[in-house]
Amino acid sequence: MDNPLKIAIAGLGTIGGGTVRLLRENADLLKRRCGRDLVVGAVCDLDKELAAEWPDVPYFNDALAMVRDADADVIVELIGGADGIAKKLCETAIAAGKHVVTANKALIAHHGTDLVKAAEDKGVSVAFEAAVAGGIPITKALREGLVGNRISRVYGILNGTCNYILTTMRETGREFDDVLAEAQELGYAEADPTFDVEGIDAAHKLAILTSLAFGCEINFDAVHTEGIRHVTAMDIEFAEELNYRIKLLGIARRTEFGIEQRVHPCMVSLANPIAHVDGVFNAVVADGDYVDTTMYEGRGAGERPTASAVVADIVDIARGNSAAALGVPAAEMEPFTVSPMDRHRGRYYIRLMVTDEPGVFADVAAALRDCEVSMEAVLQKGRSPGEPVPVVMTTHETSEGSMIRALDMIMALGAVIEPPRMIRIQSFSGGGIE
Amino acid sequence: MDNPLKIAIAGLGTIGGGTVRLLRENADLLKRRCGRDLVVGAVCDLDKELAAEWPDVPYFNDALAMVRDADADVIVELIGGADGIAKKLCETAIAAGKHVVTANKALIAHHGTDLVKAAEDKGVSVAFEAAVAGGIPITKALREGLVGNRISRVYGILNGTCNYILTTMRETGREFDDVLAEAQELGYAEADPTFDVEGIDAAHKLAILTSLAFGCEINFDAVHTEGIRHVTAMDIEFAEELNYRIKLLGIARRTEFGIEQRVHPCMVSLANPIAHVDGVFNAVVADGDYVDTTMYEGRGAGERPTASAVVADIVDIARGNSAAALGVPAAEMEPFTVSPMDRHRGRYYIRLMVTDEPGVFADVAAALRDCEVSMEAVLQKGRSPGEPVPVVMTTHETSEGSMIRALDMIMALGAVIEPPRMIRIQSFSGGGIE
């Protein structure tokens, strides 16, 4: 296998540019490591200017034409978007018997199972290391490094923008909107931050991790998704007081009902290493029956880390290495049984803003009792008659359904003047790192 | 490739037993994941009793006879020891055209380059994921996941016994000998703890990581190795006061002089996630030019995590996947140029026990000045005339050579009543996680 591997890259934005640069800058190293040249044989972007850096590389402005006309073994899709040209490009490339590498989490979360089936039928690879947690080689770890294990749970900090915002809010005491605006200025958040701050980006990645961990089809629609817009500086302060840290986590696990997938802000014990993963860093934890708990940490986005992941996939193809893209071949995948969120059990942090009238607390306690939610602790700070004051409670383990019913009753109380804030307290008992 | 892969396992101690159990317990899962059966076709141990659990598996009491007579595609060496039968077994298996999987860090640290060369000549694999950091798939991460990167530094907590001892010393305030004795009772330390507490085990693992990271031959003899016997409860207390944590780290990096490899206790900033890796856990950090910093954490030893790593190597062979065992083919390896330890530059923690006489400190300061070591801070606690008191100093960055000369001069002072204790303060600037 000493013939060069020919690579065609569609999309020359941040990641695409980084990938071409890596392949050319580290070409000698890559040749030593995989025994053959990795050649950028074609590039494609609607904006021809983006290709100007590499005048020696054949340029296309139509991605489908590139698949048809370029001499390429591998098509690298870095255009983005769950549908449209990105999807069409991958389908066309597979149909033409070419390997596909992509960093497109939305595409894989929505259409990954179908693309993998099509690729298996054609005997080509579909690889997407860069789609999950940027530079962290987590899809490889799940498909290969931990292959001997039954995975019981996989979770992580999957969105660097949210982690940056939550970290900065904690460090500075500032509020969400303020920190988001700054993150946008610094380039850590998009002009339209919806996908990031609403948890959708993390849910895309979680859906992919779930499939890899459990050998089931990807089911993005089954991810219970909440973002970080409602996290306040006050909640972060209370969390610290309770020895927790608020992190947006994606968590997938097997329950007695099926597979639970959820993305939401969590209170995590400071004793858990993931509580200390700050700023734009991502981390993924996988619990296996033999390996116990393993954690993987690194940059979750950005030109260079993402290019590192794209190139790792290309090298696997160059070396002729393959493993089922989603852990098991499509024909062997388990049907996906959704574990419903209202069957979820856990502990909860609740913050109410109440007018400080006599009897309020008795009403709240009665609502919890009526819904069979058992209180663990109460924190109340500052009393100024007539002014709203925060009341913070933590609960013992209860079901999500009971908690939601109790919150509905509490919200109806006259003295409770804004919707209660609820943050799940996430313990990871059973895993080793804690 | 739907024929079964036949595996012969030599050594049925903790890891060998765990490996057979994993392969049989998770056989269905493994078949789904790699598309063929993984069959334990033969086992071998001097003690026949250890094979009694699997009466259906052909038993050998001679490992070399097993290579010759068993119908096996892969020989798994779990006997241990840098030389002797383990080495002979691997050489014989390779010569017979069989793949080799081993968890034997001493063997690979001493003879890995030669074994890899022999295997490359024969077109078979030598795989040793289990030899470094137990269940953490770090050799795969370096060979494959980070393959696009020039690695500038790799370091980690590579010995769970030492990390357990240092963690317990910190948590309880007890001294080394006391905690070691308890660790031995609990089975976390061997009856003869030399390999662990002197840093030799960590040095074996570091030498392997160095080769993987930098594409050079393995050079165990070039590892500067110090253990943890001299770490005292008092130093741990001072470290906490200075916002450091004492960890036994193995560190390899490229310097202007060549490759530096060292294993010794370090003071690590609490802001670095590795400072929070406690107990028997291991962690490895790799810094690459594209991926920036990535960290991998998990159990470093034990029956089940190590079996997980052994099986990952077996599955790679079953899938027909391979990458150069040490990152690049033996013919492409760089010659190893040793960066000498006295050229090392860094900051230092120094603790002296002095009789509290006038002028002692002036003499110490003069010695540092004469050796061009610049003091950063001084801590002195407790003064009881006539009694020895600790004087703790930290230095600005200086060379190891200067520091050693200064310590020699200080040791010669009459008022310094025991050898100065020196612990290197390790900063990881340039890497991202800190």
ipTM value: 0.94
What is the 3-state composition of chain A as percent helix, strand, coil, each rounded to the nearest 5? 40, 25, 35
**Of the candidates A30, A292, A308, which has its C-beta nearest B304's C-beta?**
A292
Contacts of B281 in chain A (CB under 8 A): 432-433
**Of the candidates B22, B273, B281, which has its C-beta nearest A290's C-beta?**
B22
Q: Across the interface, do A291 and B297 touch by the CB < 8 Å criterion?
A: no
Closest-CA residue to B7 (of B132, B81, B104, B93)? B93
CATH code for position A102:
3.40.50.720
CATH code for position B280:
3.30.360.10
| A32 belongs to a structural domain | yes
**In chain A, whose CA is at the least distance from the CA of B282?**
A294
How many domains is chain A built from?
A: 3
- Give dist(CA A400, CA B21) in Å, integer: 38
Distance from CA of A237 to the nearest CA of B (A): 20
A92 pLDDT higher than 70: yes
Contacts of A120 in chain B (CB under 8 A): none
Do B152 and B107 belong to one domain?
Answer: no
**In chain A, whose CA is at the least distance from the CA of B136?**
A294
Q: How far lies B156's CA from each of B190, B248, B275, B426, in Å?
A: 22, 8, 10, 12
Do B18 and B93 belong to one domain?
Answer: yes
Q: What is the DSSP string of B162-227?
A: HHHHHHHHHHH---HHHHHHHHHHHTSS-SS-HHHHTTHHHHHHHHHHHHHHHTB---GGG-EE--
**Of the candidates A141, A273, A432, which has its C-beta nearest B273's C-beta?**
A273
The answer for residues whose C-beta is within 8 angstroms of residue B99's C-beta and 6 or more apart is B73, B74, B75, B93, B124, B125, B126, B127, B317
According to the model, what pLDDT value does residue B432 have?
Answer: 37
Contacts of B29 in chain A (CB under 8 A): 150
Distance from CA of B29 to the nearest CA of A (A): 8
| B317 belongs to a structural domain | no
Query: A129 near A342, Cβ under 8 Å?
Result: no
**Of the candidates A26, A311, A321, which has its C-beta nearest B321's C-beta?**
A321
**Catalytic site residues of B?**
205
Contacts of A211 in chain B (CB under 8 A): none
Do B372 and B276 belong to one domain?
Answer: no
Pick from A96, A131, A166: which residue ends a domain? A131
- Residue A27 touches partner B, C-beta closer than 8 Å: no
Reduced to 3 states (helix: H, G, I; strand: E, B; else coil), residue B258 is strand
Q: Across the interface, do B308 and A296 touch by the CB < 8 Å criterion?
A: no
pLDDT in tens, B88-106: 999 999 999 999 999 999 9
Do B147 and B124 belong to one domain?
Answer: no
Q: Across the interface, do A150 and B32 touch by the CB < 8 Å criterion?
A: no
- Give dist(CA A96, CA A430) in Å, integer: 47
Pick from B131, B147, B176: which residue ends a domain? B131
| A304 belongs to a structural domain | no
Query: B54 near B60, Cβ under 8 Å?
Result: no
* Residue of A294, A311, A433, A434 for testing the chain B interface, max B β-carbons within 10 Å: A294
- Residue A141 touches partner B, C-beta closer than 8 Å: yes
Please give the average per-residue pLDDT across B163-188, as a whole number.
Answer: 96
According to the model, what pLDDT value does residue B263 have?
Answer: 98
- Residue A316 touches partner B, C-beta closer than 8 Å: yes
**Of the candidates B29, B273, B328, which has its C-beta nearest A277's C-beta?**
B273
| B372 belongs to a structural domain | yes
pLDDT in tens, B234-292: 999 999 999 999 999 999 999 999 999 999 999 999 888 899 999 999 999 999 999 99
Distance from CA of A388 to the nearest CA of B (A): 38
**Residue A433 banded pLDDT, cuts 50, 70, 90:** very low
* Portion 5-24 of B in contact with A at CB < 8 A: 18, 22-23
CA atoms within 13 A on the CB side of B34: 30
CATH code for position B406:
3.30.70.260
Distance from CA of B82 to the nearest CA of A (A): 25
Pick from A99, A131, A163: which residue ends a domain? A131
* Residue of B308, B315, B332 for testing the chain A interface, max A β-carbons within 10 Å: B308
Contacts of A311 in chain B (CB under 8 A): 147-148, 290
Do B55 and B176 belong to one domain?
Answer: no
Contacts of B145 in chain A (CB under 8 A): 129, 137, 140-141, 309, 312
Contacts of A5 in chain B (CB under 8 A): none
Q: Across the interface, do B323 and A32 touch by the CB < 8 Å criterion?
A: no
| A306 belongs to a structural domain | no
Our measurement of the distance from residue A322's CA atom to the centroid of its chain's CA atoms, rounded to an integer in Å, reads: 24
| B313 belongs to a structural domain | no
**Residue B431 banded pLDDT, cuts 50, 70, 90:** very low
**Residue B1 banded pLDDT, cuts 50, 70, 90:** low
B140 pLDDT higher than 90: yes
**Of the candidates A35, A150, A305, which has its C-beta nearest B292's C-beta?**
A305
Q: Across the interface, do A293 and B298 touch by the CB < 8 Å criterion?
A: yes
- Residue A29 touches partner B, C-beta closer than 8 Å: yes
State percent of chain A over pLDDT 90.
88
**Of the candidates A146, A281, A293, which has its C-beta nearest B137's C-beta?**
A146
Q: Work out the mean pLDDT of chain B and round it to a whole number.
A: 94
More confident: B27 or B1: B27
**Of the candidates A150, A296, A309, which has its C-beta nearest B26's C-beta?**
A150
According to the model, what pLDDT value does residue B357 have?
Answer: 73
Catalytic residue among A117, A205, A247, A381: A205
**Of the candidates A32, A215, A308, which has its C-beta nearest B215's C-beta?**
A32
A431 pLDDT higher than 60: no
According to the model, what pLDDT value does residue A101 have?
Answer: 98
- Residue B136 touches partner A, C-beta closer than 8 Å: yes
- Residue A276 touches partner B, C-beta closer than 8 Å: yes
pLDDT in tens, B50-80: 999 999 999 999 999 999 999 999 999 999 9
Distance from CA of A151 to the nearest CA of B (A): 11
A380 pLDDT higher than 50: yes
Do A185 and A119 belong to one domain?
Answer: no
How many beta carbons lie within 10 A of that of residue A172, not counting itself?
12
**Residue A167 banded pLDDT, cuts 50, 70, 90:** very high
Do B145 and B278 belong to one domain?
Answer: yes
Distance from CA of A92 to the nearest CA of B (A): 27
Distance from CA of B372 to the nearest CA of A (A): 38
**Residue B433 banded pLDDT, cuts 50, 70, 90:** very low
- Please give the interface size between A and B, counted as residue pairs whose CB atoms are below 8 Å apart: 211
Do A416 and A281 belong to one domain?
Answer: no
Tokens standing for residue A4 = 């060069």
pLDDT in tens, B180-233: 999 999 988 999 999 999 999 999 999 999 999 999 999 999 999 999 999 999
Q: What angle do CA B260, B346, B373 make, to 5 degrees?
A: 130
Do B107 and B195 belong to one domain?
Answer: no
Tokens standing for residue B291 = 């991926």
Q: Across the interface, do A148 and B315 touch by the CB < 8 Å criterion?
A: yes
Do B226 and B285 belong to one domain?
Answer: yes
According to the model, what pLDDT value does residue A432 have?
Answer: 37
Question: If phi over 0 gives left and psi between -120 and 50 gives alpha, with beta otherwise, what is residue B110?
Answer: alpha
Contacts of A292 in chain B (CB under 8 A): 135, 298-299, 304-305
- Residue B140 touches partner A, C-beta closer than 8 Å: yes
According to the model, what pLDDT value does residue A382 have?
Answer: 67
More confident: B356 or B293: B293
**Residue A73 banded pLDDT, cuts 50, 70, 90:** very high
- Give dist(CA B147, CA B152) in Å, integer: 13
* Portion 246-275 of A in contact with B at CB < 8 A: 273
According to the model, what pLDDT value does residue A383 have?
Answer: 67
According to the model, what pLDDT value does residue B273 have?
Answer: 87
* Residue of B277, B289, B291 for testing the chain A interface, max A β-carbons within 10 Å: B291
- Give dist(CA B289, CA A32) in Å, integer: 17
Do A272 and A195 belong to one domain?
Answer: yes
Outline where B250-399 has alpha helix (H). Answer: 303-319, 360-370
pLDDT in tens, A230-277: 999 999 999 999 999 999 999 999 999 999 999 999 999 988 889 999
| B311 belongs to a structural domain | no
Do B121 and B178 belong to one domain?
Answer: no
List the domain range (segments joined by +) for residue B72: 5-131
- Residue B294 touches partner A, C-beta closer than 8 Å: yes
| A311 belongs to a structural domain | no
